[in-house]
Amino acid sequence: MVEDLKGKETWRLFRIMSEFIEGFDELSEIGPAVSIFGSARINKNNKYYKKSVETASLLSKNGYTIITGGGPGIMEAANKGASLNGGVSIGLNITLPKEQKPNKYQNRSLHFKYFFARKVMFVKYAIGYVCMPGGFGTLDEFFEALTLIQTHKIYPFPLILFGKDYWSPLVDFMKKTMIKYKAIDPEDLDFIDLTDDPNEVLTIINRHMDKKMKLIKAATRKEKAVTKEKGRKIIP
């Protein structure tokens, strides 16, 4: 029986590897992307569904790929905003006990069995997160990215909480309770933006993109200078 379990675990490793390989292959050349999260339970008449369509459309018009979890609700709205604008609309679908039905607005779809492999793709290929009102899954994605940034495991990028009515109590808890108990530092909250305006989302993402491009250009110039200097030293 123990040997059987070992065999199953070995094959599970191959499945995990295949999900990482497929994700890296499919997403490596998508360009600057924004991951949008939110509840699968929000319907088309909800204001946040409409705001998600608007936000994704605006980002798409400005050259950003949109990545979602591929399901209904907010995910559908974000994929819709991107695809109707002719942009790249990616869905990272997940296999669940109650089968998640992929929304029809994805023009590029990946399918995952393991949440952790899927979460790597969200954070690896995004230059920013937009978290619309959502449940445990949205909180999970938000706090994982925040933890990775806080612990310097990834380069900082914007974490935007969209919906002041929905997210303000959470932000207040972090400000009034977590800081009070010294569980976090006040500057940890500098990574978070709170807004109700799609245009502000674009401004925040653009500002980060400009900063990132300047850093890349500076690093490239430095690398060229070092290479040139090494070349001089080699020549007798």
* Residues 106, 79 contacting (CB under 8 angstroms): yes
Pairing of strands 33-37, 65-68: parallel
Taking a C-beta distance cutoff of 8 angstroms, is the pair 32, 65 a contact?
yes
Place of tokens 């979890």: 69
For the domain covering 26-234, report its CATH number.
3.40.50.450
The model's pLDDT over 71-80, given as tens digits with 9 standing for 90+, comes to 999 999 999 9
pTM as predicted: 0.88
Contact 128, 142 (CB under 8 A): no
List of residues 6+ apart from 76 with CB closer than 8 A:
49, 68, 103, 105
Residue 49: partners with Cβ closer than 8 Å, 6 or more residues away = 42, 43, 73, 74, 76, 77
Q: What is the pLDDT of residue 2?
A: 44
Residues of the chain predicted below pLDDT 70 = 1-7, 99, 227-236
Closest of 23, 17, 31 to residue 70, by C-alpha: 23
Q: What pLDDT does 1 receive?
A: 42
Parallel, antiparallel or unpaired: strands 33-37 and 89-94: unpaired
Domain locations in the chain?
Answer: 26-234
Amino acid letter, residue 139? L
Tens digits of per-residue pLDDT, 97-133?
Answer: 775 788 999 999 999 999 999 999 999 999 999 999 9
